[in-house]
Amino acid sequence: MRDTSRRRLLVVLLVLTVVVLGVDVAGGPGAGRLRAAGGAAFGPIERLLSPGADAAGAAAARAREGVLRDQLVSQTREARELAALSGAPDLAGSRFLPARVVGVGRQGAAGPQRVTLDLGARDGVRPELSVVAADGLVGRVVAVSPWTCDVLLVGSADLVVGVRVGAAGTLGSVGSGARGPQHRAAGQLNLTVVERGAIRAGDAVTTLGSVGGAPFPAGLRIGTVQDVDEVPGDLTPTASVRPSVDLTTLDVVAVLLTGPRTTPRTPSTATG
């Protein structure tokens, strides 16, 4: 049906073109105006019937639809991650600045060791603040410019975090999986606990806390004990930890606004 319509329109255009040329050759009055009117009237039809124009217009429309679809997906993902941050149990009552990852620094054995966020000193960011995702600790701010900041990630060679492990709260520290007595699989962290500390697979690993909550407040999730190393005679247990946060897919994160304690602690009186 489409090909038949094209042929009919082309025949009509051909007849009209012959008429216009005949009037023009004969020097009829208003021939110039007739040619201009014909061009204005039939030009859009010719463009519509042109297969090349049809394909180009469809390709442009598809490209615009693709851009809009990508923007919608990105905005939806950001909104979902921000909502997850606001509802994260670890962050209840905390004040934070939402940020996006806009740069990736050097790579280590377990993945990226630094990222850059789109927040800086003019937003109230300063060094030694914690950076978290909805699932747990991401790292700490180590460098700040007016509009961006660099974050040292959990698992990097230069970052060790004091932790508590399991329901008993066994003390220990977590660092790079590439640093320690055992070789860890890519993406895993290394856990070392205090002498004779008891740990087991499945135990939750959370931050111990820092003075004034900087760089790390207490109770932020770091990961889960995966495998406990069985080394006969070793008085300092070690284990591998699976991180709570996938550092390879970071997007929307939060910079926690905490600071040093300024109010003296009130003494307590024993009643026993």
Residue 216 in contact with residue 130, Cβ under 8 Å?
yes
pTM above 0.75, yes or no: no
Element (H, E) at 234: none
Topology of domain 95-256 in CATH is Thrombin, subunit H (2.40.10)
Query: Which two tokens mark 207?
Result: 């931050």
pLDDT tens, position by position, 21-64: 555 555 554 545 555 555 555 555 555 555 555 566 667 766 67
Per-residue confidence at 70, pLDDT binned at 50, 70, 90? Answer: low
φ and ψ of 6, to 5 deg: -60, -45
**pLDDT bucket at 69, cuts 50 / 70 / 90:** low
Query: Do 196 and 180 contact (CB within 8 A), yes or no?
Result: no
Residue 181 is classified by DSSP as S
| Domain boundaries of the chain, sorted by first residue | 2-49, 95-256
Report H helices in the chain: 2-25, 31-49, 51-86
Q: Which residue has the higher pLDDT, 46 or 85?
A: 85
pLDDT tens digit string along 179-205?
666 777 778 898 988 877 788 899 999
